[in-house]
């Protein structure tokens, strides 16, 4: 529970650097609060991607919006496209590359669970403590259209689960949360106080 993990990337940008605060008002981001239509898109079914038809334009657009929002993960429905595509900033790899994954599926989850704070570019109202399996194995198509499998733990395992939820129309606020949502400001204040 010490690492913290937030789609908006508050953690990835470091607690001391808040210049990279998330932009919930990014005009191309869909939020569940902005309109009934946007909420419907976030809840809709997402079409799988064929390996021979990797959507390069969609990937470029998602990477740009993720970068502009200061996030560490994004799913296609969050920009209004109901396809099974996610982008994750791989903070577990050298130079933290942004990588695209298609049709991701969890093929194994650990019995061990962990709780951590999550936020979401589509949930402007705040940050919540979410319990999830600590370790996962995920199968996906990479940007070359190749099937791959990885076993992951820590923040990246959490981000994958959060993004895969999006592809199933699930937001973290649909899960049972231990406490009311904290606003981003409250969350950052709490983290700063914990550090002292
Ligand atoms: Zn999200």
Whether 111 has a pLDDT exceeding 60, the answer reads yes
Dihedral, CA of residue 36, residue 42, residue 44 and residue 46, to nearest 10: 150
CB neighbours (10 Å) of residue 185? 12
pTM: 0.90
How do residues 12-33 score in pLDDT, each as one tens digit? 333 333 344 556 678 899 999 9
Looking at residue 8, its pLDDT comes to: 58
Q: Is 120 annotated as a binding residue?
A: yes
CA of 69 to the centre of ligand 1 (A): 12
Which residue would you say has higher pLDDT here, 182 or 152? Answer: 152
- In the reported structure, the alpha carbon of residue 163 is separated from the centroid of ligand 1 by a whole-number distance in angstroms of 6
CA of 123 to the centre of ligand 1 (A): 7
Per-residue burial over 72-103, b if 16 or more Cβ lie within 10 Å, else e, is bbbbbbbbebbbbbbbbbbbeeeeeebbbbbb
Alpha helix locations (H) across the chain?
Answer: 36-43, 56-69, 154-167, 184-195
Q: Cα(192) to centroid of ligand 1, in Å? A: 23
Q: Which CATH number fits domain 36-195: 3.40.190.10, 3.30.1330.200, 3.40.50.300, 3.90.45.10?
A: 3.90.45.10
Residue 54: name the closest of 115, 2, 101 by CA: 101
- The pocket of ion ligand 1, defined by CB under 5 A, consists of 7, 120
Active-site positions?
A: 163
User: So where are the chain's domains?
Assistant: 36-195
Q: Is 26 annotated as a binding residue?
A: no
Q: What is the pLDDT of residues 144-170, one digit of tens each?
A: 999 999 999 999 999 999 999 999 999
* pLDDT at res. 156: 95
| Mean predicted lDDT score pLDDT of the chain | 88
């Amino acid at each position: 529970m010490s690492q913290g993990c937030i789609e908006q990337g508050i953690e990835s940008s470091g607690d001391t650097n808040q210049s990279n605060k998330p932009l919930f008002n990014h005009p191309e981001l869909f939020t569940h609060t902005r309109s009934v239509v946007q909420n419907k898109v976030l809840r809709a079914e997402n079409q799988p991607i064929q390996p021979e038809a990797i959507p390069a334009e969609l990937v470029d657009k998602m990477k740009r919006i993720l970068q502009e929002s200061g996030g560490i993960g994004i799913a296609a429905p969050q920009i209004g496209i109901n396809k099974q595509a996610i982008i994750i900033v791989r903070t577990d790899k050298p130079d933290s590359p942004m990588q695209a994954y298609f049709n991701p599926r969890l093929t194994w989850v650990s019995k061990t669970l962990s709780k951590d704070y999550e936020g979401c570019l589509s949930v402007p109202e705040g940050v919540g403590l979410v319990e999830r399996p600590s370790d996962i194995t995920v199968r996906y198509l990479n940007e070359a259209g190749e099937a791959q499998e990885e076993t992951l733990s820590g923040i990246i395992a959490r981000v994958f689960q959060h993004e895969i939820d999006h592809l199933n129309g699930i937001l973290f606020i649909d899960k049972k949360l231990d406490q009311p949502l904290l606003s981003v400001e409250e969350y950052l204040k709490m983290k700063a106080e914990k550090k002292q």
